[in-house]
Amino acid sequence: MLFWLALLFITVPLVEIVLLLKVGSLVGIGPTVALVVGTGILGAWLARLEGLRTARAIQAELEAGRLPAARLTDAALILAAGLLLLTPGILTDLCGFALLAPPVRALVRRSLVAALSRRFQPSGAPRDPEAIDVEWSEAPPDDDPLIGP
């Protein structure tokens, strides 16, 4: 896991730098900076709108007495999208905008739930619900003269 995180934290910035240099060489420095700043502002605004909509949906599900598990996952994904959109770069902006789209978010949510379910499956044989697990050990005899007959 640490290897993959290190690889991610090294390759993503390098890819972002290469993309920004390519775009900068095609359209110039000014439009490239405007693109990065504009996508950051637009992304923050869209993430706020989606976050508020999801917060209202969570509130409605709680009022209806249902557990809003999918909506809470959506909220986490919207937060991740907002962080990606505030990070300067083209690749992170594309990923952030994609996560703000409800169909893409639903696909990512299903994949995330499936991956977590595989990773955190209970191990061992199924237990008998009527069985009670106990550990027993024999205590040494009490030789206290103050307690006794």
pLDDT digits (tens, 9 = 90+) for 92-116: 999 999 999 999 999 999 999 888 8
Distance between CA 125 and CA 135 in Å, rounded?
19
Nearest one of 43, 20, 44, 48 to 32, comparing CA atoms: 20
Give the mean pLDDT of 28-44. Answer: 91
CA angle 33, 35, 37 (to 5 degrees): 70
Distance between CA 56 and CA 61 in Å, rounded?
9
Distance between CA 77 and CA 124 in Å, rounded?
32
Query: What does pTM read for this prediction?
Result: 0.71
Give the mean pLDDT of 59-73. Answer: 90
Q: Give the torsion sign (CA, 42, 43, 48, 50).
A: positive
Q: Over 90: is that where the pLDDT of 24 sits? A: yes
